[in-house]
Amino acid sequence: MSKVYFTDLRTTPNRNLLDKVVDLMNRSKIDVKIRKHDLVAVKLHFGEAGNTTYVRPVFLRSIVKRLKEAGGKPFLTDTNTLYTGSRSDTVNHLATAIQNGFDYSCVECPLIIADGLRGMSGARVAIDGEVLREVHIAKEIADADALVVVTHFKAHELSGFGGALKNIGMGCATREGKLVQHSTVAPKVNPENCKGCKLCKGYCPSGAIWVESKKASIDGKKCIGCGECILICPSHAIEIQWNEHPDIFQKKMMEYAAGALQNKTKKSLFINFVVQVSPACDCYPHSDSPIVRDIGILASADPVSIDQASCDMVNNEVSLPGCAIKDISAPGADKWRALYPRIDWSVQLAHAEKLGLGTRKYTLQKI
């Protein structure tokens, strides 16, 4: 069994929530994990422009301060998105992060987008997965000495819930890695939007794109799935084919998590904020109302245990009136299935356990 530390949201003038987060780090033995001068990647989601449920920057300042006290050199990090949005390249991503409050004056450490200007900078990591033999992990995360994963825990339309495991598995992958997880086939061109400008053809590293009669086409046999053309097209004419089955999608995601954690044994910590548990990902430019009351903050060295505990805590609540769950769902009812009936969210936990990332059995220690 793994230990999961938990604090509720009750506070006093002598012990506010920022103090409680530091207490969680202390109980998780952060000083043992971080050595002097360690470069510590603090992986989070900066929030899409318009999203309001990402973890607040002031919490990151407390986490950063504690990591510096432990001797580390922390930086806040995330990777560019596969789809076009406000975080699909490093310039826009940093601008969005700063607009969402993650500037140096608040968090007191640098922001580094881990997979380069256009999401292409990665390290190939060999893994012994059920589906994959190799994963493509964002370079700056792969190169970091330690990893602290700060997650806004929420529901997710492709995996039932999105917690620490998803934050690592999808969130530490390069664009190529994200495309591999989402799709088994090459992107396709929507001819209605294509203007025949040939920009994609010039960028394609495998010569898979040709343009005829002012319309681009992609040869699926030549495509290596780098995802570059999706971002580069100024007309948004190249589309991802979101065709992967939810079970295989989750398994691939966990195999990516295994790759990201491979060189971080005993050098990682996971902190889940189970507050404003929204019905979908923070990648949307909006945040819908929470499905349950705000529960608290968890920390653990085990990403499987912390996600299992967070899932259980949400499921043990009654769903809130007026939220995306249509009928009031009682304590004990499966909130993730109520939102996404065709997705078996337990697949990611079971597969992560099978890969040796942790255990679904945990003891909860309230601090």
From candidates 17, 200, 277, 355, binder to ligand SF4 by CB under 6 A:
200
Residue 337's contacts (CB-CB under 8 Å, 6 or more residues apart) are: 160, 343, 345
* Whole-number Cα distances in Å, 128 to 206, 254, 276, 282, 354: 27, 12, 36, 30, 11
- C-alpha to C-alpha distance for 311 and 72, rounded to whole angstroms: 31
**224 binding ligand SF4? (CB under 6 A):** yes
Span interacting with ligand SF4, options 58-66, 104-112, 223-231, 259-267, rule CB under 6 A: 223-231
Residue 138 one-letter amino acid: A
Span interacting with ligand SF4, options 39-47, 73-81, 211-219, 287-295, rule CB under 6 A: 211-219
- C-alpha to C-alpha distance for 55 and 301, rounded to whole angstroms: 19
Q: How far is CA 191 from the centre of its chain?
A: 32
Report, in Å, the least distance between residue 232 CB and ligand SF4. Answer: 6
**Burial of 294: CB neighbours in 10 Å, binned 0-12, 13-18, 19+:** middle
**89 binding ligand SF4? (CB under 6 A):** no
Partner residues linked to 239 by β-bridges: 188
**187 binding ligand SF4? (CB under 6 A):** yes
Find the angle CA(221)-CA(224)-CA(226) to the nearest 5 degrees.
Answer: 145
- C-alpha to C-alpha distance for 340 and 346, rounded to whole angstroms: 13
Report, in Å, the least distance between residue 201 CB and ligand SF4. Answer: 7
From candidates 123, 149, 237, 297, binder to ligand SF4 by CB under 6 A:
237
* Residue 4 main-chain phi, psi, to 5 deg: -120, 125
Q: Which is nearer to ligand SF4, 85 or 101 (CB)?
A: 85
Find the angle CA(244)-CA(255)-CA(186) to the nearest 5 degrees.
Answer: 35
Which bin fits 56, alpha (ψ -120 to 50), beta or left (φ > 0)? beta
Report, in Å, the least distance between residue 212 CB and ligand SF4. Answer: 10
From candidates 76, 168, 218, 301, binder to ligand SF4 by CB under 6 A:
218
**173 binding ligand SF4? (CB under 6 A):** no
Among residue numbers 259 through 298, which ones bind ligand SF4 (CB under 6 A)?
none
From candidates 131, 211, 333, 364, binder to ligand SF4 by CB under 6 A:
211
Span interacting with ligand SF4, options 153-161, 221-229, 298-306, 309-317, rule CB under 6 A: 221-229
From candidates 72, 74, 122, 225, binder to ligand SF4 by CB under 6 A:
225
Span interacting with ligand SF4, options 75-83, 94-102, 208-216, 254-262, rule CB under 6 A: 208-216
* Number of residues lying near ligand SF4 (CB under 6 A): 30
Among residue numbers 301 through 320, which ones bind ligand SF4 (CB under 6 A)?
none
**229 binding ligand SF4? (CB under 6 A):** yes
Please answer whether residues 159 and 166 qualify as being in contact, where contact means their C-beta atoms are separated by less than 8 angstroms: yes
**186 binding ligand SF4? (CB under 6 A):** yes
Residue ranges that bind ligand SF4, judged by CB under 6 A: 186-187, 189, 194-200, 203-206, 208-209, 211, 216, 218, 223-229, 233, 235, 237-238
